[in-house]
Amino acid sequence: MANQKHEHRVTPRTKDEKSAVTNRLKRIEGQVRGIQKMVEEDRYCIDILVQISAINAALKKVGFSIAERHTKHCVTDAVKSGEGNEAIEELMEVLKQFSK
């Protein structure tokens, strides 16, 4: 994963926003550990695949939540300051990755 630095202004997340995203990620982390245990216990492959699918859905939900916040704050601010095209192009490139 590339670590990219951008010149755009960042709108800091509120304490509640950070908490909500962190809690979701911790739940996902727990699900991943659960899958590791399922593999160690030689659980049925279909059961493992169902759990992997659930994790993928949960990660996408977190990603779209962050994308929505980015659009409402960062992209909106960029449009207001005349840098909207660049911010929109950047967002669209990232959203394309979600459809892969």
Q: What pLDDT score does 14 carry?
A: 87
Q: What pLDDT score does 98 carry?
A: 81
> Tens digit of pLDDT for each residue in 79-95?
999 989 999 999 999 99
Enumerate residues 6+ apart whose C-beta is below 8 A from 77: 8, 9, 11
Give the span between the Cα atoms of 63 and 30, in whole angstroms: 18
> Tens digit of pLDDT for each residue in 8-62?
667 788 899 899 999 999 999 999 999 999 999 999 999 999 999 999 999 999 9
Give the span between the Cα atoms of 65 and 82, in whole angstroms: 25
Q: Kind and range of the H or E element at 29?
A: helix 15-40
Of the two residues 81 and 3, the one the predictor is more confident about is 81
